Amino acid sequence: MEPLRSSDPARIAEHRLLGRLGAGGMGVVYLARTPGGALVALKVLLAEYAEEPGFKERFRREVEVARRVDSPWVVPLVDADPDAEAPWLATAFVPGPSLAEAVSSYGPLSERGLRVLGVRLAEALGEVHRAGLVHRDLKPGNVLIGHDGPRLIDFGIARAPEDRTLTATGMVVGTPGYLSPEQAEGRGGDGIGPASDVFSLGCVLAFAATGRAPFGSGALDALLYRAVHDPADLEGVPTGLLDLLGRCLEKDPARRPDAGELARELTADAAVQSEGPGEAAPQDEGASAWLPEAVSRLIAERSAAALALPDIEHTLAPTETPAEPPTATGSPAEPETRETSAAAEPRDSRPAGRRRFLLLAGGAVALAAGGGGAWWAAARDGGSGGKGPAATASSRGPVHTIALHGDLSGPYRATGRAQERGLRLAVEEFNARGDAPFTVKVKAVDDGGDPAASARVAKDLTGDPTVLAVVGPTTDDTGQAALATYDAGLLPVVGLSPGTTNLTIQGFRSFLHARLLDAVLPIFASNYLLGTARSRKVGIVVDRPAGAYGTNLASSLSNTLANVPHPSVPEVVSAMRRDFGTAVDGVLSAGADSVFFAGLPDRGALIAATLRERAFQGARVSGPALLDDQFLTQAQEAAEGWVMVAPVIDATRKPEARKFAAAYRERFEEAPPRYAAEAYDVTSMLLEALAALPSKGRTRQNLLASVREGKYEGITKNIAFQENGMMAIDGSGAYVWRVDQGGFVYDGPAPLTA
């Protein structure tokens, strides 16, 4: 929970405000006490939005919908005033994580847990449907986890099937990845009924069973396409639930069970009953026996923190200095040792009604710090090789820590070590300044490329109050494992090498994506193919083993070419095949004079060899994954002439980076590898923002807000961020590399136009 700001009221109606749970562009969600002392989440819309035609009416409709649904598994509406100058509504406060946070941080549920979750959400949907409504946005982020069961939230877009105010044909409403086929196709009016919610519940249960969405991740159009056309990925779902989830995920709404039938089939497990909250079944070991132990502990921590909050006689809004949050390792009532300031508090970019509840008084961080145990990932505060000085703290002024979270010993160690060295060089230069207002210490932590270790690293760094920012992690998978923990501690994290859209669309507040996403790079690749290569027809070869990475590249390029319009020929290669002959012959026989490969280095070598055998002379283009020595080693002569569009520079060839390259060579006795300059840039950006803050305002929250709102002119590119943490596209960030005489050669910025 963030402290109140001096501009916040002390009360709204008779509700005394305790702190901020989140904020978005349209309003703020507060934690508040009712006149009777109960805790509520109170959502307030900004007054200026209430003046917009129809806006207050839509808010009033949300209040009416919430009042119509009566279920113990739906967060109840406590009070509301849709006609106030700044309309507001208050719902019961649930001091637990969302299902998205619980599964992402602690893993999938057991079959027992899945049945409890499914029964109670099906019962909640049954009440929604009996009220004549369809929820329309059931997803893991809209399910809160209490010790006695789940709670469904967010009726902002719930409607009766015949209500066309938000469901005109062609309009897609909801969250891609959890939408029914009828929603994904934008069917209007009666086309979206209760069966749509059952499909979404099937998606939610599949996520809870496996830790991943059943239609994968990637570009939004790809998610919508898969929901309509592709079978759900149910690998890892317990055998006893496979048939039922498969029926929930039928493309034809008429073939799905209704909510009542679903609840009855799930209770085939005799241990699952449909008691109300707090009424555990007689055979239960406890109300929370359906949850992993770590999630139960987290709920207990947050519940204890809620109980420790001030009563209604002592919850005054701050005037100058906000209340101090707890230390990462202390009790909820213990003050944190670092100083805070009310200035430049970050805003949650998600709409207030869609927020994930933030941690109460640091309970989640306390749990994370206390559960580290013995783990193999090594923390390195010393140097990273080379002959220069290590980045150690001096006695000048306060000491702040910038951390590197990376793969320093595993399969992506070259990238992780390059980022570590770039970070260290930026810190050493900062510490050497005569006017530096503080000293910076480096904490480099190795996860070995292992997602489980990455999650433990995130807990360690979040629990260290001296760490004000993190650069990393190195890969998509290690990033996915860590970001929920960083988000809970609001610790700024700047990613350089992960490229999946999924890390951005999950809404992590503290994550900043400081590179163009994989789904954006094909826009520049199409400019190269149509302009530089003058291709008349592009063959797109999608390699299934590349997973979401390959799908992102291929679908983005296909859509970009279709919008021009420009002809393309798609071919998909199964993971079971190592022979690319059929795919290559397919695109060439269709008239393709260039080939774009959406895949990884080892299989890239296979298609390169096939094209060489066919004496193909056209352009051969791919994404950043092929910018890897493995491709050169395995493809050998067949790699010659290939072009990669990637989000990384060669610092020795970019004029703005030559001073950095010379300093790097002096420090580490070698030319800077890829991603070293990028790490130097974002570290310098963080240090510049931190130095600009007043001494008492150098906190994680204020640093995050400053970086989010600022713009940094770096040696690699200009860096600025959109509201969702994605890097703003301003003409920089994509670069062309080619293979020449057995090595990668940097050719400068990718073309902005064809």
Angle at 299 between CA 294 and CA 302, to 5 degrees: 125
**In whole angstroms, what is the distance from residue 89 CA to residue 45 CA?**
9
Q: In what order do the strands lie in the sheet with 743-749?
A: 568-573, 538-543, 594-598, 619-622, 643-646, 735-740, 743-749
- In the set 8, 79, 83, 137, the catalytic residue is 137
Region of residue 746 (left: phi > 0; alpha: psi -120 to 50; beta: else): beta
Q: Are 86 and 50 in contact (CB under 8 A)?
A: yes
- Name, in order, each residue with C-beta under 8 angstroms of 97's C-beta and a sequence gap of 6 or more: 105, 144, 145, 295, 298, 299, 302, 356, 357, 364
**In whole angstroms, what is the distance from residue 680 CA to residue 742 CA?**
28
Q: Are 147 and 287 in contact (CB under 8 A)?
A: yes
> Strand pairing partners for 738?
643, 745
Longest Cα–Cα distance in the chain = 82
**In whole angstroms, what is the distance from residue 278 CA to residue 349 CA?**
34
Residue 659, both tokens: 């001073």
**In whole angstroms, what is the distance from residue 547 CA to residue 555 CA?**
12
Whose structure tokens read 């010659």? 640
- Counting every residue, how long is the chain? 754
Please confirm whether the linkage preceding 318 is cis (ω < 30° from 0).
no
Q: How many CA atoms lie within 13 A of 134 on its CB side?
A: 27
**In whole angstroms, what is the distance from residue 244 CA to residue 225 CA?**
23
Angle at 683 between CA 680 and CA 686, to 5 degrees: 150
3-state secondary structure of 330: coil
Q: How many CA atoms lie within 13 A of 438 on its CB side?
A: 20
Run of H or E residues at 613: helix 601-613
Region of residue 159 (left: phi > 0; alpha: psi -120 to 50; beta: else): beta
- Name, in order, each residue with C-beta under 8 angstroms of 604's C-beta and a sequence gap of 6 or more: 597, 622, 625, 626, 631, 635
Alpha carbon 588 to its chain's center:
39
137 is catalytic: yes
Residue 629, both tokens: 């020595």
DSSP-assigned letters across all residues of 23-84: EETTEEEEEEE-TTS-EEEEEEE-HHHHTSTTHHHHHHHHHHHHHH---TTBPPEEEEETTS
Whose structure tokens read 């700047």? 494
**In whole angstroms, what is the distance from residue 84 CA to residue 27 CA?**
14
* 376: exposed, middle or buried (Cβ count in 10 Å: 0-12, 13-18, 19+): exposed
* Positions marked catalytic: 137
